[in-house]
């Protein structure tokens, strides 16, 4: 992790919150064992003095700021710090800052705070620590429910401990006295799909269908997307029929999975027909729908269709995103439609969507090549005054 990255993080909590006093803390409770001991490991704490100077400074400052209740609500800061430390493989530093949070009794009694720690450990790939937090929650004054159980399952998936998901899912609820909910089932299904173990994913889906949860569109979509990613069209169509038989109505996510597969297989006309069907049956397309179909039209050099779907996207109050704008700008320039490229650039700036500097510069250069100096100046001025775009454009010296 670079020192500049750490410096940027440091500014997130460089000023002391005013008129807020630190709350009292509790002593650290003894570590307990998760009911499944195979998922726990003993990892020694690393003294803060052994951290690199910039990491040591960050850890010290983070702990100091953590004493203020207002700071502990800053989920974005917690995620940013853990993400950066994990990128630098400073796992002992992550352990140091997150274990420190257990001192704050009022927060640890709130299951949501424990959930945050569990998920942060999962994102850092430290599943053994996530298990430890889950196991300690009762001693920290927090009753475990399906909420923290789901967080543990998510941490298991995020940390790529996919082989442990099924055992945790089937063992812990009975021991702790609660039932899995729809999110629980969907998380396990997702894990099996990532393993490409579709038979096991379908078995969990069947369990969900037979439970009090019943058929759930999220679970179906998770498997459906996996089938289409693997181009397993036979099983995908079987699952569609199963959904219909269970009375589960396909939503936009279901159709998007099918749409992306059609585009990937160069079946653009069928993809266009599918979008038309969605409109007829009142499944409103979202940005993922439009991005997929625009990508297909770009691949076939269908300029008018690209412009049409871009217009429909905006007309449906579905704001284009970074992916949309990168496709549109590059394609418009390739097709020589600089008017369209210019308008798309201005729309990106208006919507505060940052695109690559090279894409914007491409349009500026194209305008200059056509002696459209005023429009080139306008685009440069708009970019250079935009706080969203972390760069400036220049006007090349014209001959």
Please tell me which of 15-19, 27-31, 376-380 the model is most confident about, judged by mean pLDDT.
376-380
Per-residue confidence (pLDDT) for residue 243, from 0 to 100: 95
Q: Over range 141-159, report the average pLDDT.
A: 95
Judged against a pLDDT cut of 80, whether residue 145 lies above it is answered with yes
Average pLDDT, the chain: 87
Q: Per residue in 168-180, pLDDT tens?
A: 999 999 999 999 9
Per-residue confidence (pLDDT) for residue 394, from 0 to 100: 79
Q: Per residue in 332-362, pLDDT tens?
A: 999 999 999 999 999 999 999 989 999 999 9
Per-residue confidence (pLDDT) for residue 285, from 0 to 100: 95
User: Using H for helix, E for strand and C for coil, what is the string for the chain?
Assistant: CCHHHHHHHHHHCCCCCCCCCCCCCCCCCCCCCCCCHHHCCCCCCCCHHHCCHHHHHHHHHHHHHHCCCCHHHCHHHHHHHHHHHHHCCCHHHHHHHHHHHHHCHHHHCCHHHHHHHHHHHHHCCCHHHHHHHHHHHHHHCCCCCHHHHHHHHHHHHHCCCHHHHHHHHHHHHHHHCCCCCHHHHHHHHHHHHHCCCHHHHHHHHHHHHHCCCCCCHHHHHHHHHHHHHCCCHHHHHHHHHHHHHCCCCCCHHHHHHHHHHHHHCCCHHHHHHHHHHHHHCCCCCCHHHHHHHHHHHHHCCCHHHHHHHHHHHHHCCCCCCHHHHHHHHHHHHHCCCHHHHHHHHHHHHHCCCCCCHHHHHHHHHHHHHCCCHHHHHHHHHHHHCCCCCCCCCCCCCCC
Judged against a pLDDT cut of 90, whether residue 397 lies above it is answered with no
Per-residue confidence (pLDDT) for residue 180, from 0 to 100: 94
Per-residue confidence (pLDDT) for residue 374, from 0 to 100: 94
Per-domain boundaries in the chain: 1-159, 179-248, 251-314, 319-399
Q: Per residue in 265-312, pLDDT tens?
A: 999 999 999 999 999 999 999 999 999 999 999 999 999 999 999 999
| Percentage, residues of the chain above pLDDT 70 | 86
Judged against a pLDDT cut of 70, whether residue 26 lies above it is answered with no
Judged against a pLDDT cut of 70, whether residue 2 lies above it is answered with no
Q: Over range 144-152, report the average pLDDT.
A: 96
pTM greater than 0.95: no
Per-residue confidence (pLDDT) for residue 234, from 0 to 100: 97
Judged against a pLDDT cut of 60, whether residue 218 lies above it is answered with yes
CATH architecture of 319-399: Alpha Horseshoe (1.25)
Judged against a pLDDT cut of 50, whether residue 35 lies above it is answered with no
Per-residue confidence (pLDDT) for residue 49, from 0 to 100: 55
Q: Per residue in 181-192, pLDDT tens?
A: 999 999 999 999
Q: Over range 141-150, report the average pLDDT.
A: 95
Per-residue confidence (pLDDT) for residue 25, from 0 to 100: 37
pLDDT category at 15 given cuts 50, 70, 90 is very low
Judged against a pLDDT cut of 60, whether residue 42 lies above it is answered with no
Per-residue confidence (pLDDT) for residue 395, from 0 to 100: 78
Judged against a pLDDT cut of 50, whether residue 322 lies above it is answered with yes
* 219-233, 282-296, 382-396: the lowest-pLDDT one: 382-396
Please tell me which of 69-73, 86-90, 228-232 the model is most confident about, judged by mean pLDDT.
228-232
Per-residue confidence (pLDDT) for residue 34, from 0 to 100: 59
């Amino acid at each position: 992790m670079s020192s500049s990255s750490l410096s940027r993080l440091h500014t997130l909590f460089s000023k002391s919150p005013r008129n807020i006093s630190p709350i009292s803390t509790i002593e650290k409770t003894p570590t307990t064992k998760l009911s499944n001991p195979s998922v726990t490991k003993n990892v020694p704490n690393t003294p803060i003095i052994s951290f690199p100077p910039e990491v040591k400074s960050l850890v010290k400052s983070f702990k100091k700021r953590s004493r203020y209740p207002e700071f502990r609500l800053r989920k974005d800061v917690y995620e940013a710090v853990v993400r950066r430390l994990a990128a630098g493989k400073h796992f002992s530093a992550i352990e140091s800052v997150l274990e420190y949070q257990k001192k704050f009794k009022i927060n640890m009694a709130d299951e949501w705070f424990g959930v945050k720690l569990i998920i942060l450990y999962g994102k850092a790939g430290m599943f053994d620590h996530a298990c430890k937090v889950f196991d300690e929650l009762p001693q920290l004054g927090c009753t475990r429910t399906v909420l923290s159980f789901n967080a543990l399952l998510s941490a298991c998936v995020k940390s790529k401990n996919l082989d442990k998901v099924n055992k945790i899912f089937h063992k812990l609820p009975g021991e702790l006295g609660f039932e899995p909910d729809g999110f629980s089932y969907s998380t396990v299904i997702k894990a099996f799909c990532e393993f490409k173990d579709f038979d096991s994913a379908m078995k969990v889906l069947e369990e969900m269908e037979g439970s009090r949860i019943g058929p759930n569109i999220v679970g179906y979509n998770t498997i459906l997307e996996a089938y289409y990613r693997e181009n397993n069209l036979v099983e995908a169509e079987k699952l569609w029929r199963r959904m219909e038989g269970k009375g589960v109505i396909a939503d936009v996510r279901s159709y998007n999975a099918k749409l992306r597969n059609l585009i990937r297989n160069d079946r653009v006309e069928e993809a266009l027909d599918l979008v038309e069907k969605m409109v007829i049956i009142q499944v409103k397309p979202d940005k993922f729908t439009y991005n997929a179909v625009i990508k297909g039209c770009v691949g076939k050099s269908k300029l008018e269709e690209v412009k049409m779907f871009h217009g429909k996207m905006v007309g449906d109050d579905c704001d284009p995103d970074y992916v949309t704008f990168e496709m549109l700008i590059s394609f418009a320039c390739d097709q020589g439609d600089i008017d369209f490229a210019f308008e798309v650039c201005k729309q990106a700036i208006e919507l505060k969507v940052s695109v690559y500097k090279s894409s914007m510069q491409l349009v500026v250069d194209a305008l200059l090549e056509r002696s459209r100096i005023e429009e080139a100046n306008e685009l440069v001025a708009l970019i250079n005054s935009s706080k969203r775009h972390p760069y400036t454009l220049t006007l090349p010296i014209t001959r």
